[in-house]
Structure 1
Amino acid sequence: MSSTYVKPAVITDGRLGHLTPEQTEKLQQFWIRLYEIFDGKTPFDQTVPSSFKGQARDEESGAAPAPKAGWFSRGKSASESSSAPVAPRFTGQDIYTCFWKLTMMDHPDLIVLKFIRARKWVLDDAMKMFLNALKWRIVERLDELVELSDVELDAKYPKFIEQMRIGKGYLRGADPLDRPMSVVNTRLHHKADQPAETIHRFTLYTMECGRTVLPQGAETVIVIFDLSNFGLDNMDWGFVRLFVQCFESYYPETLGVCVVHRAPFVFWGLWKLIQPLLDPVVASKFVFTRNNEELHKVVPRERLPITHYGGLDDWTYKYVPAAPGEDDAMKDLAKKEELLAERHALEAGFDRTTREWIKSVNGKNAPERDEIAQQLREQYTRLSPYVRATNLYKRWGVAVEGQVNWTYNVVPEQK
């Protein structure tokens, strides 16, 4: 069988390195507003996003905020909660610190451009979305998902490792546009098999791991929902709700395509409930494949496993547990502080250059910023072992020292 893969068009409009003078001006104006927030000169909404549920706690009472009521929520309804939520307070410094943690190896412009594009270059809307995402990251404590080991996460969230061991959801390979692929095996999920908070945290963990397997220049991912043998007992509205929120609000412009594979008849009734919840832009990213032949048009056979997907890659998912001493670098506090000081110096250098750049909103780029951004990327590869626990993808040899290296054991195609 000859290849049926159809390579999608590469979109460059509004992307880093392809900005028009008008778009560059918009970017400069966004940075002006952002520094006013960082510096505490401009007040901003202090509450967490309205869709957020269940992580932050009131500093005085220690009470967790009440979850949002409704059939689509993970927790109790508002009427079942003993007290109303107390909104956390944020400072410009909190937002600034979170922003640089979010940046990791990315060019800072790449991060903010995602939000600007997602709000169609309307800066007021983009800024609100951006601040909400940063506040969300703080109250969701996403830091712990990269700082804690698999074992530590399993101790805090029961059956966390089990999600990985059975292969419920994982990242594997990339398409020819270097978009990493996330596979979700819905048949392996039963809502009652683990605490709701565990699947919530595991979902966010996978999202954060996905960022480590994005090679330089790639911005989007492919999600494959494998609905083989899907039944109503596999449905989890809490997960669907989180998935939708993440790609619409907290990781915008990150979903390249969402493949719904082998959806059975029972799914289409649920789809009628899900589709109205989706932003039209996100909804347009959904593709439905009835069989492996249709899937091969979206992802080349060489990048898909032989088993189950009819691909040409002789690969089977296997969870590799932590090895003794793999996170010893995190215990070297002196080296960690040294590298963090180096990192903060580079961040300050980017700030200085950017503050100078935005004094004249002229639609022209400042090459010095790009140079520092590249230094930040290189430096993060050295810092990472001291601030991030080793994850499965590093054990697989995929994401090591800032490099992404998927390997495929391609077998000859049978005639």
Structure 2
Amino acid sequence: MSTYVQPVPVTDGRLGHLTPEQTEKLQQFWVRLYDIFDGKTAFDQTAPSSFKGQNRDEDTPKEAPKSGGWFSRGKATPAAETASVSEPAPRFTGADLYKTYWKLTMMDHPDLIVLKFIRARKWNLDDAMKMFLNALKWRIVERLDELVELSDEELDAKYPKFIEQMKLGKGYLRGADPLDRPMSVVNTRLHHKNDQPPETIHRFTLYTMECGRMVLPQGAETVIVIFDLSNFGLDNMDWGFVRLFVQCFESYYPETLGVCVVHRAPFVFWGLWKLIQPLLDPVVASKFVIPRERLPITHYDGLDDWKYEYVPGVPGENDAQKDTIKKDELLAERRGLEERFDAATRAWIKNINGKNSSERDDVAKDLREQYARLTPYVRAKNLYQRWGVSNNGNVNWTYNVKSA
């Protein structure tokens, strides 16, 4: 086993570590963002290029076969449940994007979200704004709300074999590295693209990504993706997976992929690797070794006596969603906090001076605490809550460590 190298947290351009110049950029970004939300500034109101009514195979590499499967839905897919390819793409208003932005924020500090897009575009505010607005539109056309609001059983009824993906353990989140970055495991050997409808696997992968946000503890911004290529064969090859993997982490969840680990890759994999490799920092990747105490014994030669098991939902676990009186009360409280943050931000950006606003930080803390109370009323319970990992806004991984 390689000598463990303690990872070093990155602080440049991160919340709580901004220089005055970076804070000024952040203030300027909020000025532009409110002008769009308020309808004062024109922007591209059309759907993003990944709109479901468009052909997803247009950007498939010429040398790669066009196929459905992981992160792919084959060829043309309806824009919505009843839409067709010929139906015009939707258009969005600033109010639409404002509403989506606050749903995206969840328990995070609002600045944390926008800083990811600003850093991804090297502090070029024009490019960052275009990227951010496109991501908000993408969340609408992808109907990400349903992935957190519907139960496993409801998703399974809508997307056949949805629960089967979880029972198989094709992809899941388990444990974290010493920087508290959750680890997402992709078991490619379990995937055969014809075993389930393409739409089902697409929704399942986005569902897992959204669940990943719930197991990001405060202070952690990125995740570790582990591609387990044990027994990987040509039948498991899926270029659609690579395409949307890249799209998601580059365009829709920027600055979220901390490290990508390739485990037991056979020779047949290396053509696929050429497309994934540009995402990786070779210096970080070469030094990254996960402590054995945080890796399962099975498959990973770790010390954690743990095996993946899908825990199904139980009757009544989502009854809070039916309590419309309490739900409306908490949503009204949430809107009040959002308005407080808006007011504090609008006051803060009147003077672009590179100074932080403690008032905004205080409201952001209240937003995080309130979302923990709101969650049972607006989100269905997921596997990670049933495991006891995510609870009331806190994240707790446990490891059953055996001696070496």
Q: Smaller-chain TM-score range? A: over 0.9
Q: 1:84 Cα shift?
A: 4.6
Aligned length: 389
The CA distance in 2 between the partners of 1:285 and 1:148, in whole Å, is: 39
The CA distance in 1 between the partners of 2:284 and 2:168, in whole Å, is: 26
SS at match of 1:397: coil
Superimposed CA distance per residue, residues 164-216 of structure 1 (whole angstroms, 9 cap, x where no aligned partner)? 00111000000000000000000000000111111110010000000000000
Superimposed CA distance per residue, residues 195-244 of structure 1 (whole angstroms, 9 cap, x where no aligned partner)? 11111100100000000000001000000000000001001222221111
Give the structure 2 partner of residue 59 of structure 1: none
Give the structure 1 partner of residue 251 of structure 2: 249
Match of 1:364 among 355, 372, 376: 355
Superimposed CA distance per residue, residues 391-415 of structure 1 (whole angstroms, 9 cap, x where no aligned partner)? 00000000010010000011112xx
1:199/1:149 Cα in 2 relative to 1: closer, same or farther (>3 Å)? same
Give the structure 1 partner of residue 239 of structure 2: 237
Give the structure 2 partner of residue 69 of structure 1: 58
Match of 1:284 among 281, 285, 296: 281
Give the structure 2 partner of residue 40 of structure 1: 39
* Contact 2:185 2:226 (C-alpha < 8 Å) held by counterparts: yes
Superposed, which structure 2 residues align to 1:2-17 within 5 Å?
Answer: 4-17=3-16
Give the structure 2 partner of residue 100 of structure 1: 102
Superimposed CA distance per residue, residues 318-361 of structure 1 (whole angstroms, 9 cap, x where no aligned partner)? 00000111000000000000000000000000000000000000
Q: 1:92 Cα shift?
A: 0.7
RMSD: 2.0
Give the structure 1 partner of residue 345 of structure 2: 354
* Contact 1:46 1:89 (C-alpha < 8 Å) held by counterparts: yes
**AA partner of residue 283 (structure 1):** L
SS at match of 1:170: strand
Match of 1:168 among 142, 167, 170: 170
**AA partner of residue 94 (structure 2):** G
The CA distance in 2 between the partners of 1:134 and 1:382, in whole Å, is: 25
Are 1:26 and 2:25 matched, yes or no?
Answer: yes
SS at match of 2:298: coil
The CA distance in 2 between the partners of 1:76 and 1:229, in whole Å, is: 28
Q: Which moved more, 1:94-103 or 1:68-77?
A: 68-77
* Contact 1:67 1:76 (C-alpha < 8 Å) held by counterparts: yes
**AA partner of residue 131 (structure 1):** L
* Contact 2:340 2:363 (C-alpha < 8 Å) held by counterparts: yes
The CA distance in 2 between the partners of 1:259 and 1:226, in whole Å, is: 8
The CA distance in 2 between the partners of 1:77 and 1:338, in whole Å, is: 42
Give the structure 1 partner of residue 69 of structure 2: none
Q: 1:269 Cα shift?
A: 2.6
SS at match of 2:75: coil
Q: 1:11 Cα shift?
A: 0.8
* Contact 1:53 1:68 (C-alpha < 8 Å) held by counterparts: no
* Contact 1:181 1:222 (C-alpha < 8 Å) held by counterparts: yes
* Contact 1:259 1:287 (C-alpha < 8 Å) held by counterparts: no
Give the structure 2 partner of residue 389 of structure 1: 380
1:27/1:165 Cα in 2 relative to 1: closer, same or farther (>3 Å)? same
Q: 1:65 Cα shift?
A: 4.4
**AA partner of residue 58 (structure 2):** A
Give the structure 2 partner of residue 60 of structure 1: none
SS at match of 2:302: coil
Match of 1:377 among 359, 368, 378: 368
Q: 1:85 Cα shift?
A: 5.4
- Structure 1 stretches of at least 4 aligned residues deviating more than 6 Å after TM superposition: 285-289
* Contact 2:189 2:233 (C-alpha < 8 Å) held by counterparts: yes
Match of 1:308 among 284, 299, 324: 299
**AA partner of residue 281 (structure 2):** S
1:77/1:141 Cα in 2 relative to 1: closer, same or farther (>3 Å)? closer
SS at match of 2:116: helix
The CA distance in 2 between the partners of 1:108 and 1:219, in whole Å, is: 13
Are 1:184 and 2:186 matched, yes or no?
Answer: yes
* Contact 1:95 1:131 (C-alpha < 8 Å) held by counterparts: yes
SS at match of 2:175: strand
Gaps of 5+ in 2: 61-65, 67-71, 78-83
Give the structure 1 partner of residue 80 of structure 2: none
Superimposed CA distance per residue, residues 354-408 of structure 1 (whole angstroms, 9 cap, x where no aligned partner)? 0000000000001000000000000000000000000000000000100100000
**AA partner of residue 41 (structure 1):** K
Q: 1:307 Cα shift?
A: 1.1
SS at match of 1:340: helix
The CA distance in 2 between the partners of 1:271 and 1:85, in whole Å, is: 37
SS at match of 1:308: helix
* Contact 1:329 1:386 (C-alpha < 8 Å) held by counterparts: yes
SS at match of 1:164: helix
The CA distance in 2 between the partners of 1:353 and 1:285, in whole Å, is: 41
SS at match of 1:173: strand
The CA distance in 2 between the partners of 1:67 and 1:174, in whole Å, is: 33
Q: 1:53 Cα shift?
A: 4.0
Match of 1:227 among 226, 229, 247: 229
Q: Percent identity?
A: 78
TM-score normalised by structure 1 residue count: 0.90
* Contact 1:246 1:252 (C-alpha < 8 Å) held by counterparts: yes
**AA partner of residue 92 (structure 1):** G
The CA distance in 1 between the partners of 2:373 and 2:397, in whole Å, is: 21
1:211/1:350 Cα in 2 relative to 1: closer, same or farther (>3 Å)? same
The CA distance in 1 between the partners of 2:233 and 2:6, in whole Å, is: 32
